[in-house]
Every structure is written in structure tokens, then in C-alpha cells.
Amino acid sequence: MGDRLPRLSEDARRVTPAAAPRRTLRASDVFALTVGIVIGAGIFRTPALVAGVAGDATTMILAWIAGGVLSIIGALCYAEMAAAWPHMGGDYHFIGRAFGQRIAFLYAWARLAVIQTGSLALLSFIVGDYLQVLLPLGAAGPAIWAGIAVVAVSAVNWLGVRWGTEAQRWLTLAEVIGLIAIIVAGFALAPADAAPAAPGGGALGLVMVFVLLSYGGWSEAVYVSAEMKDPPRRIAAILCAALALVTALYVLVNLALLNGLGIAGMAGTDAVAAEVMRRAFGPTGAAAISAVVAVAALTSANATAIVGGRTACALGQRVRPLRWLGRWDHRRDTPGNGLIAQGAIALLLVVLGGFARDGFRVAVEYTAPVFWLFLLLAGLSLFVLRRTEPARPRPFRVPLYPVLPAIFCTTTAYLLWSSLAYTGWGALAGVAVLGVGALLLLVVTPGDAQAD
């Protein structure tokens, strides 16, 4: 009997309510996660919107370059905090240290109830829409495929961190190859005829809203900062390298589309990638791009599941009534319960979305203001933590402080205003979700920030 006691103790430690993850992720894993979550289905949709609003080719291309630069500035701000406080809670942890656990709880609640789960459901619907083209399953086919996608990415990541990151590596490679195919197709076509600027062009603010939507997601990488094998300071280089690659691909994609379709042709179709592939390779090319878009959306969905489960786990470790969410499975190196809860909510949203096929736009509207609000708070956290914790070792510091963080916060504040100005009733849903979280604060007490 005595020889069984150590084994029982080891098994008991495999799943603990407040355990820290091990450092199992390589730099290449974090790089693939960042690239994969940024390059989603947005790049296949937004070029047409940007072309229509920008009105001329120069403004359009400069906007895509500016979007990459602004994203890198934001990544530098996040990298300082992630290097100083590597934590699976990511910006939830930073906001908690800077503004207190009650504000952090509202953020974690919004991520669990709307931001991450809504993004997972929306990305899965994109997977479903395009797989339905290739393998139709009847009228409910898109919802069925979307549900399968949610279950698949949740299950893969529940099985273990290596399963999730290996899947992310191959999915990211596939979507990058797809973008390269579009670039080749666009430049292979004869240059399109020049056309007059699109009417109503020149609304730079709206252009940047669309552009930065396509660059969104880079901040999610900090959620795995506590699991990196590399020194914390390296996260800055990893994020910047990933965003530099994404920027190069985005600019080349838009130059290729501009060559093959012209700015008027880009503005005149919702499916610019499919159109340029059709012109270059015929119906086979159009079918192939459907598979590429499905892979891109699935890649972002997988990355969203990876980081979202860690937010739920961090929340459970701070809020006693939700402590079941905070269990970290050491055997699989994954936040098992957090992934299950996240997948269940996303699956519910897919079911509801199956009855309202216009749910994509509505969901974007009600998630955008909440997302930009808390991204702004995360940026402001850098200023607060520089003042309140000056002695904290910072393996990496933002260059040109406070200029670069000020640029990031100003840009984010403008996007928050824009997301409210350009949305309707959908924005109220996000406010309602925060309201529910505020009501929960009447009955739960978030724990104090950890000392790490």
C-alpha cells in the first residue's frame, strides 16, 4: 500500500485548482500562434471594403502599411508587460494589476461571454460557409460545419498543448501558402485597366477601422507568455517578426489584387480573392480559394481557442465561485475546464446563429466596442504600472517611451469611438454583457492579484 502513495500524490497533482502552466512552448510555436490568429478570414473580405472607402491605390496601400506599423507599436507595449509579468491571464492580468481585480473581472467576463466565444463562433461559421460550398450538407449545412469546427478545435486543445500548437503550426503554414497562391495569381494576370477613384473615397478613419480589423488578434499571444521556454524578453522579437511577416503578406496581397482587378474591380466585389483566382485559374481556382478561406478561419479559430481557454482558467483562479474554471490539467498541460466552458458557449452561439444567418454582422457590432475599450485599458496599464511598480524587473522596455505607448492608446481610443459611431443596436448587446458582469460583482469577490 505504501508504494502506491507517491503515485496517488502524483495523480492528484495532475489537475489542480491553482496550478501554473509549465514552460513547454518554443518560439516557433508562439510565432505560428501569432501569425495564425492575425491572418484570419478578414484579409479575404476587407480589401474590397478598404478599396471602396480609400478611393485610390496609394491611400489603400499606405493604409495597409500603416496598419502593420501601428500593430507593431501595440505589440511592443504588450511585450514589455508580458516580459515583466508572464502570465496565462495575459492582458487580464495586466489590467488587474493596474486597475484592480473588479475591472479585470469585467474584462475576463466579457472575454468569456462575448469576445472570445463570439469570435470562435463567427470564425467557425466562416469555416461552415466555405465548407458548405465544397461539401454541402443541406440547408443547415453551414451551422452543422460550424458546430463541428467548434467541437474539433476545442477537443484538439483539450487533448493537450502539443496537439493544439502542432495543429496551429500546420494550419498556419497552409493559410500562408494560400495567400502566396493569391499573390502569384494576381501578379500573373495582365494589369487591370486604370479606373477613376471610387466615389466617396478618402475617409481615412473608416479605412483604418477596416484595416486594423484584419490585423486584430496579435495581442492574444501574451496569453501563452508563461508557457514559453525562451526568456521573457524574446516575446517582443517574436511578436514583431510575426507582424512584419503578416504586414508583408497583406501588402503583397493587396498589390496583387490591385494588379489583377484594379481598385474599381476590388471595390466592386465582396470576394476579391475568389475573383482573382477565378480569372487566373478558372472555376477550379475559385473552388480552391474556398478551401483556403476555410483553412484561414479554422486557423484563427484554433488560436482563439488556445488563448481563450487560458483567460477562463485565470478567471477561475481569482473568483472562488468559478474556481472549477481555474483547474489546470498538468497531464495535458492545458486548461481543460476552461476550454470545455468556452466551447460550450461558442456552440450555443452557433446554434443561435443557425436561426439568424445575419448574425455575423450583428456579432461584430456588439463585440467591437467592448474589445477596443479593454484594449485601450491594457495600453493605459503600461503607464500605470510604470508609475506604481517602478522597481519591477523589465527584461524588455518599450523604446521611445512614452511616445509609442501614447500613439497606441490614441489610436485605440479613436477606434473605440469609431466602433460606437458606426454601429447601431448591436453595440448595446456588449454593454448589456458588461452590465451582467457588473451585477455578478455584487455576489462574487475577485481575488487579489498574485505576487508574480
Q: In whole numbers, what is the pLDDT of the chain averaged over residues?
A: 80
Assign 3-state DSSP to the chain and report helix, strand, coil percentages, each to 5: 75, 0, 20
**pLDDT score, position 406:** 97
91: closest CA among 388, 433, 326, 382? Answer: 382
Residue written as grid cell 477537443: 155
- Percent over 70 (pLDDT), the chain: 83
Q: Check pLDDT > 50 for residue 450.
A: no
**pLDDT score, position 366:** 65
**pLDDT score, position 384:** 97
Condensed to tens digits (0 to 9), the pLDDT of residues 354-395 reads: 776 555 566 667 677 888 899 999 999 999 999 999 999 999
**pLDDT score, position 317:** 78
Give the phi and the psi of residue 241 in degrees, each rounded to 5: -65, -45
**pLDDT score, position 265:** 86
Contact 47, 211 (CB under 8 A): no
Q: Check pLDDT > 90 for residue 248.
A: yes
**pLDDT score, position 4:** 36
270 vs 410: which has the higher pLDDT? 410
49: closest CA among 198, 249, 237? Answer: 198
**pLDDT score, position 357:** 54
Average pLDDT value for residue range 397-422: 90
Question: For 187-201, 231-245, 307-321, which range has the lowest pLDDT when averaged over its residues?
Answer: 187-201
**pLDDT score, position 451:** 42
Residues 6+ apart with CB under 8 A from 348: none
Give the phi and the psi of residue 197 in degrees, each rounded to 5: -60, 145
Can you tell me the distance from the alpha carbon of 182 to that of 274, in angstroms, rounded to the nearest whole number?
9
**pLDDT score, position 70:** 94
Average pLDDT value for residue range 258-287: 83
**pLDDT score, position 8:** 32
Condensed to tens digits (0 to 9), the pLDDT of residues 154-177 reads: 888 777 656 666 766 777 787 788
* pLDDT class of 305 with cuts at 50, 70, 90: confident
* pLDDT class of 18 with cuts at 50, 70, 90: very low
**pLDDT score, position 313:** 80
Average pLDDT value for residue range 93-99: 91
Which of 155-164, 338-347, 401-410, 432-441 has the highest average model confidence (pLDDT)? Answer: 401-410
Can you tell me the distance from the alpha carbon of 378 to that of 95, in angstroms, rounded to the nearest whole number?
6
Contact 285, 19 (CB under 8 A): no
> Where are the alpha helices (H) located in 218-356, listed in sequence order?
234-267, 272-281, 283-318, 336-355
Condensed to tens digits (0 to 9), the pLDDT of residues 106-138 reads: 888 888 888 888 788 878 887 887 788 778 888
Q: How many H helices and E strands in the chain?
A: 17, 2
Condensed to tens digits (0 to 9), the pLDDT of residues 199-241 reads: 544 567 778 878 887 898 888 777 676 677 767 778 899 999 9
* pLDDT class of 415 with cuts at 50, 70, 90: confident
Condensed to tens digits (0 to 9), the pLDDT of residues 29-80 reads: 888 878 877 887 678 778 888 888 887 889 899 999 999 999 999 999 999 9
Question: For 96-110, 114-128, 318-332, 391-405, which range has the lowest pLDDT when averaged over its residues?
Answer: 318-332
Can you tell me the distance from the alpha carbon of 349 to that of 364, in angstroms, rounded to the nearest whole number?
13
Quick one: DSSP state of residue 4? Answer: G
Question: For 82-86, 271-275, 389-393, which range has the lowest pLDDT when averaged over its residues?
Answer: 271-275
Q: Check pLDDT > 70 for residue 422.
A: no
**pLDDT score, position 63:** 93
Question: For 61-65, 76-80, 87-91, 437-441, which range has the lowest pLDDT when averaged over its residues?
Answer: 87-91
Can you tell me the distance from the alpha carbon of 20 to that of 451, in angstroms, rounded to the nearest whole number?
13
